[in-house]
Amino acid sequence: MHKQRAFIGHHGPELLDDGTTRFRIWAPDAQNVSLIVVGAQTLPMTANEDGWYSIDAPYGAGTLYRFLIDDELQVPDPASRAQAGDVHAPSLVVDTSSNYLWRNPNWLGRPWEETVLYEMHVGLYGGFTAMEKHLADLAELGVTAIELMPIAEFPGDRNWGYDGVLPYAPEAAYGSPEELKHLIDTAHGLGLMVFLDVVYNHFGPDGNYLGRYAKHFFRHDQQTPWGDGIDFRRREVRDFFIDNTLMWLLDYRFDGLRFDAVHAIPDRSFLTELAERVHASVEPGRHVHLVLENEDNRASLLTAGFTAQWNDDGHNVLHALLTDESQGYYADYHQDATTKLARFLGEGFIYQGQNNRRGEARGEPSGHLPPTSFVLFLQNHDQTGNRAFGERLVSLADADALRAATAVLLLSPMVPLLFMGEEWGARQPFLFFTSHHGELADAVREGRRNEFAEFAEFADEATRERIPDPNAVSTFENSRPDFSVRQEPGHAEWYALYRELLSIRHREIVPRLQGARFLESRVLAQAAVLSRWQLGDGSRLRLELNLGTQAAPLPTASISGELLFASREATHAHDQLAPRMARLYLEKAT
């Protein structure tokens, strides 16, 4: 067992050696601030420079407290380490240095090349403790890293997590900080890394009081889809989020973070400073990975301290080819889809400065980056849950074509991400759910339904009324994966496929990934391409992929290589690739 020293940041309570606690809050727009100790006393705080208030008070771990702003408004600590209930409840002083004894203190993570991500929603698993019982199965399947959807304290007890308002506090409905640490520790004992999805581009609509006492936390001249942008020009604001990153990595020992929608963070210098601070703060030899979601396809960030980016381009073109869907953003990928498929497999991003359907230039050149700079997925919370009825891909695509795409997902040199239940062909939907109340619940419900008004199948109001209410308990319950069916007919076959492909990946691909690079990708026929990658040991990986309905011609010149996997039996001549088929060959270096 190992006790570690707590990370001390600029924001939030600090336990002092004499048993007292230093409370502090940045409230530049408050005239006065007091500390309310629940069940004890109210103490005026000292006004310091630059809008800070602080007090050293004779209370320790377990203390419940709030801040009183201008003698009228009680608020939780915006950097609360835990809440005694929901976002409006009192904050709780937590001793992060001694509240958990680590069983795997020498864990240093795993190299990025070994990563196979598995995205999970903690609430649907029943909380931190209940989630632990699924970890051994994931490790046995071949997963090497779980990725938790956001767990920062949000209003209510059912939410995707992107409505969080207290970024430092693990969601109380999921469990305590100690239980979160136990989950991470258990994962490490099984050889699993643990990633966390964090949201630094906005706060949720309920429970964020910052605008009342720190108005300049936000930029009123800069709008995001969620309202005023966050003002990352201010030192206090930068430290608020950078300290949060360091808390998750140092106190909780997460192995990596996924940064949500950083295209809504226009201040690039904040992102590069965050990466610099992280790499300067973790202990030598430890593997920590920083992954972006970025619709702008800023490839240059991937050489500025960030490990990889979610490759929405890759998902979108594969989805368009698998389903023939062309509405919304799929319109950018449905047209000339085969050329775009070849570009994605040959260079990473599809949009590298080209105009999208709105005539807007998007992206930066990416072909010089290693393939491991891209996280590839066929499904995730966004792509499944942002459908009106949350259908899984297994319900939308031809089974043979989906098996071929799955081979690309798990055997290409890009880093794969699976979405919970995908590996056994789960058919339960993943729906959008919240637990708001009153007018906000009404607004979220109607806003959700109106999002689909531009789609032909939802043009009339009566059809939109069938879209599940995000606030209904049934919407949440219907989204739970049914773990009991994994070995039943119709599911066991998918599970066996994922297990086989991950075994091949770890045996043949992973040992050769460091130093891999893109080589070439060319169109063979409609929905069919041939792609090749140079691997780090000098060998080459070749993909023959046909997602179309007609056989595709193959180059006449024979290419030597060991067949790693074929997604279905070949039914055509050797110089043709059958419809809806993928083959991967390894040409080893001599």
Concatenated DSSP letters of 424-491: GT--S---------HHHHHHHHHHHHHTTTTSGGG-SHHHHTTSPPTTSHHHHHTTS--GGGTTSTTT
Q: Rounded distance, CA 210 to CA 30, Å?
A: 11
Q: How many CB atoms lie within 10 A of CB 569?
A: 7
Closest CA to 475 of 445, 451, 499: 445
Annotated catalytic residue: which of 77, 243, 260, 313?
260
Q: Which residue has the tokens 């056994």?
A: 424
The structure tokens listed for 508 are 């043949």
Annotated catalytic residue: which of 163, 171, 197, 293?
293
Beta bridge partners of 376: 416
6 secondary structure, DSSP code: P
Terminus-to-terminus CA distance in the chain, angstroms?
48
Helix 312-323 vs helix 399-411: angle between axes, to the nearest 10 degrees?
160
Half-sphere exposure of 368 (CA within 13 A, CB side): 7
Cβ(585)–Cβ(559) below 8 Å? yes
Beta bridge partners of 586: 541, 562
Active site residue 293: yes
Cβ(192)–Cβ(199) below 8 Å? no
355 secondary structure, DSSP code: B
Q: Return the H-helix or E-strand segment holding 294.
A: none
Cβ(398)–Cβ(404) below 8 Å? no
- Could you write out the DSSP letters of every residue in 121-181? -HHHHTSHHHHGGGHHHHHHHT--EEEEPP-EE-SSS---STT-SEEEEEPTTT--HHHHH
Q: Which residue has the tokens 């009404």?
A: 442
514 secondary structure, DSSP code: T
pLDDT of residue 359: 85
The CA-atom distances, in angstroms, between 237 and each of 240, 250, 572 are 5, 20, 61
* pLDDT tens, the chain, 590 aa long: 555 666 778 999 999 989 899 999 999 999 999 999 999 999 999 999 999 999 999 999 999 999 999 999 999 999 999 999 999 999 999 998 777 899 999 999 999 999 999 999 999 999 999 999 999 999 999 999 999 999 999 999 999 999 999 999 999 999 999 999 999 999 999 999 999 999 999 999 999 999 999 999 999 888 888 888 999 999 999 999 999 999 999 999 999 999 999 999 989 999 999 999 999 999 999 999 999 999 999 999 999 999 999 999 999 999 999 999 998 889 999 999 999 999 999 999 999 999 888 888 999 999 999 999 999 999 999 999 999 999 999 999 999 999 999 999 999 999 999 999 999 999 999 999 999 999 999 999 988 888 787 677 777 777 778 899 999 999 999 999 999 999 999 999 999 999 999 999 999 999 999 999 999 999 999 999 999 999 999 999 999 999 999 999 998 765 679 999 999 987 666 789 999 999 999 998 87
Q: Which residues of 66-91 are buried (b: 16+ CB within 10 A; e: fewer)?
A: bbbbeeeeebbbbbbbbbeebbebbb
Cut 0.75: pTM above it: yes
At 224, the amino acid letter reads: T
Q: Rounded distance, CA 39 to CA 346, Å?
A: 63
Q: Rounded distance, CA 321 to CA 581, Å?
A: 13
Q: Which residues of 117-130 are buried (b: 16+ CB within 10 A; e: fewer)?
A: bbbbbbbbbebbbb
